[in-house]
Amino acid sequence: MEVKYQFKIDTIYCGDNLDVLKDFPDECVDLIYIDPPFFSNRTYEVIWNDGYELRAFEDRWEGGIQHYLGWMRPRIEQLHRILKKTGTFYLHCDYHASHYLKIICDDIFGQKKFQNEIIWCYTIGGKSKKRFARKHDIIFFYTKGKKWTFNGDAVVIPRPKTHMKVRTDADGREYQEKTDKKTGKVYRYYMDKGKIPEDYWTDIETINREARERLGYPTQKPEKLLERIIKASSNEDDIVLDAFCGCGTTVKVAKDLNRKFIGIDVSPTACRLMSKRIHYKKDDIVGMKYSIEELKELPHFEFQNWVIERIGGKVSQKKTADMGIDGIVPISEYGSNLPIEVKQHSISRPDIDKFETVLRRTKKKAGFVVGFKITKGAMEEIARTKNDDKFIIIPITIEELLAKNKIKK
């Protein structure tokens, strides 16, 4: 059987995780965290906070919850297969599907392998007058074998003072004491020693608008959350895998904590962003090379992002997108900040006419049009606008983009 996705540590894979995981050997990773689309029936659309990357990704599941679960199950089965016997699995979800997913995980891992349902509480988000506001996510924690890593002491949090009296010992250290009523044994808790968190986490906020780590990815998770999970459930040099890694929070934190990482995401835009975040070479992302047929099938925004990046341009902010510009090329031999028009089909005469209007409106003398083919009519129109109106429209085909790097220069 042909192996397309060779198992390699410290690697980002761009592809459907089911295809990627099927190519991995049994029991090869120590820790898995996943944060799959939540079955929330929402389409996320954002402008990246660098202002240029127009992003969208769907987590709409038209066939209902059963369709979603049928989609998740084989992926969790593969994750269970590739997890080492000593390994740990975390599944991040919310009320939309958590109860159904728990049943699937119990089935695959075994009920006895369930360790925790972690309730991650946050404060931001909407209020409701019709019900109690929904302010938490759920993270299921499973293990695979009889032994596993749990470094509780690596993730201690400050010990909150209880109603018991705070005393001070001879060295000036504060403590509280509790007496076991049955045995009479006295337990002493030093306030500066901290405690292992319980299964509800209230001390980690979601990423707000001001957060420095915010990249603008719609469902980006805070690094602190991943830090707690990775520190508690792995050791240095262990292999940490995230099969829905989005903008790469798990991968970034694993790398910072001297773990090996594997990140998988189906979105090329997410993979590119993640590679930038961790200073990973884009050309080393496994699965990012496309054939013409694959490019035709890409969601339009992914196709557009791929083309524009390949030309060395920037995806438009919404403002300019509204003017009919998909992107701009900041510097080229024809001038600066020139518009790019991207079509996921052939460029024909009417496309050139429309683009000429865009050039007029934006007061630019030149611009780029990109499509799978440039029809004869379009070429004639390009020649005419050059002669009559002195506009320079540069046609580029996808074949040219695939074949050379020349255009980038």
Ligand X SMILES: C[S@@+](CC[C@H](N)C(=O)[O-])C[C@H]1O[C@@H](n2cnc3c(N)ncnc32)[C@H](O)[C@@H]1O
Sites for ligand X among residues 3-42 (CB under 6 A): 16-17, 35-37
Regarding 220 and contact with ligand X (CB under 6 A), the answer is yes
Q: Which stretch binds ligand X (CB under 6 A): 62-70, 244-252, 322-330, 395-403?
A: 244-252
Which of 204, 270, 340, 347 is the binder for ligand X (CB under 6 A)? 270
The CA distance from 5 to 14, in Å, is 10
Which of 143, 267, 304, 316 is the binder for ligand X (CB under 6 A)? 267
Regarding 305 and contact with ligand X (CB under 6 A), the answer is no
CB of 252 to ligand X, least distance (A): 9
User: In 246-317, which residue ranges form alpha helices assigned H by DSSP?
Assistant: 249-256, 268-277, 292-297, 300-311
CB of 374 to ligand X, least distance (A): 32
Q: Which amino acid is residue 324, in one-letter code?
A: G
Position with the least CB separation from ligand X: 246
Sites for ligand X among residues 339-378 (CB under 6 A): none
Report the chain's C-alpha Rg in angstroms.
26
The CA distance from 330 to 337, in Å, is 4
Q: Which stretch binds ligand X (CB under 6 A): 136-144, 188-196, 240-248, 329-337?
A: 240-248
Q: Which amino acid is residue 265, in one-letter code?
A: D
Name every residue whose Cβ is closer than 8 Å to that of residue 118 and which is 6 or more positions away in sequence.
138, 139, 140, 141, 199, 200, 201
Regarding 385 and contact with ligand X (CB under 6 A), the answer is no
Given the DSSP bridges, would you call strands 43-47 and 54-58 parallel, antiparallel or unpaired? antiparallel
Report the b/e string of 108-133 with b at 16+ CB within 10 A: bbeeebebeebebebeeeeeeeeeee
Q: 20 or 328, CB closer to ligand X?
A: 20
Regarding 275 and contact with ligand X (CB under 6 A), the answer is no
The CA distance from 319 to 327, in Å, is 11
Regarding 249 and contact with ligand X (CB under 6 A), the answer is yes
Which of 5, 24, 39, 57 is the binder for ligand X (CB under 6 A)? 57
Binding site for ligand X (CB under 6 A): 16-17, 35-37, 57, 217, 219-221, 244-247, 249, 264-267, 270
